Amino acid sequence: MKSRNTIEEYHEYRDKIGNRTELYRIVAKRYGVASALYPGSHIDIAPSLVIPKVIYVDNFKGAINFFKNMEMIKKYIAENKEYEKPSDIVFMGQDYSEELDVEPVDLIISQYAGFVGQETKKYLNTGGILLCNDSHGDATLSRFDDDFEFLGVIGKNNRIIDTKLDDYFVLPRSKNVDLVKVKEKMKEPKYKLIAENYLFRKIK
Ligand SMILES: C[S@@+](CC[C@H](N)C(=O)[O-])C[C@H]1O[C@@H](n2cnc3c(N)ncnc32)[C@H](O)[C@@H]1O
């Protein structure tokens, strides 16, 4: 049987998770993002289509094997990217909670990969943006972290909403959010109002 090539593998993965290029594009445009760190990226290389420098980090064997074909990935990105500059793509096949040899970036991407914001915020420029979902509670931890300012949410239509933010991260009957439990369970609390993605700015 002919083995799948790297780009076919990426396209299959993209079809499975949904194409996130528009999501990354609107965030990169709104906040003038030139560099990003994507811990727990697996093989979601869509950020490189819209952001010139992206560092991907994942310790899963499948991701490590995928990024071994870096020349093919770079060629694909060069042919499809939306910016003028040459692209700079780096992959680190390691645990993102261990020390990463990277310069501070403008954006950190956290998608279904644990407490990425908490573990890697030290690599985010002050003023930089954290884009995260709350599938494992990463957005919740960021919301109650003084290092971050809650900027907005992004729904299914990929529009940034920055109004009525006090309506998010609110539990029924105004119960307090139990952060210890969130860390233990790695699950988002059942809030009254939720969004697909959340945006935070690092303020310290
Ligand atoms: C559910 S997948 C999500 C992948 C991608 N972010 C997406 O949304 O399509 C989670 C990925 O995070 C990676 N991951 C989880 N914890 C990690 C860690 N501590 N260090 C490096 N990679 C990690 C896993 O190997 C896996 O590839």
Strand, coil or helix: what is 199? Answer: strand
- pLDDT surpassing 70 at residue 202: yes
- Please write the tens of the pLDDT for every residue from 158-174: 999 999 999 999 999 99
pLDDT at 1: 44
Ligand 1 centroid to residue 113 C-alpha, Å = 4
Render pLDDT for 100-134 as a digit per residue (tens, 0 to 9): 999 999 999 999 999 999 999 999 999 999 999 99
Residue 27 has pLDDT above 50, yes or no: yes
The predicted structure's pLDDT at residue 156: 86
Going from the Cα of 57 to the center of ligand 1, the distance in angstroms, rounded, reads 8
- How do 105-110 and 124-132 pair as beta strands? parallel
C-alpha of residue 11 to centroid of ligand 1, in Å: 18
* Protein residue closest via CA to atom 1 of ligand 1: 112
Q: What are 177-199's pLDDT values in tens digits?
A: 999 999 999 999 999 999 999 99
Identify the pLDDT of residue 3.
55
What is the mean predicted confidence (pLDDT) over 21-40?
Answer: 98
- Which residues does 17 contact at the CB level (< 8 Å), separation at least 6? 44
**Burial readout 157-189 (b: 16 or more C-beta within 10 A, e: otherwise):** ebebeeeeeeebbeeeeeeebeeeebeeeeebb
**113 ligand 1 Cβ < 6 A:** yes
**pLDDT band at 4; cut points 50, 70, 90:** confident
Task: Look at ligand 1, atom 19, and give the residue with the nearest C-alpha.
Answer: 95
Residue 46, SS3 per DSSP: coil
Residue 175: band (very low, low, confident or very high) from pLDDT cuts 50, 70, 90 = very high
Mutate to test the pocket of ligand 1, among 48, 107, 112, 132 (most ligand atoms within 8 A of CB): 112
Q: Give the DSSP letter of residue 193.
A: S
Find the distance separating the first CA and the last CA of the chain, reported in whole Å: 53
56's CB contacts (< 8 A; 6+ apart) are 38, 41, 45, 63, 67, 89, 90, 91, 92
Task: Tell me how far CA of residue 114 lies from CA of 51, 110, 139, in angstroms.
Answer: 23, 8, 10
Q: Which fold has domain 6-202?
A: Rossmann fold (3.40.50)
Does pLDDT of 151 surpass 70?
A: yes
pLDDT single digits (tens) 33-63: 999 999 999 999 999 999 999 999 999 999 9
Would the pLDDT of 2 be above 80? no
How distant is the alpha carbon of residue 24 from its chain centre?
A: 9
The pLDDT of residue 131: 99
Instruction: Extract the tokens encoding 45.
Output: 């290389």
Locate 21 and state its tokens: 């290029």
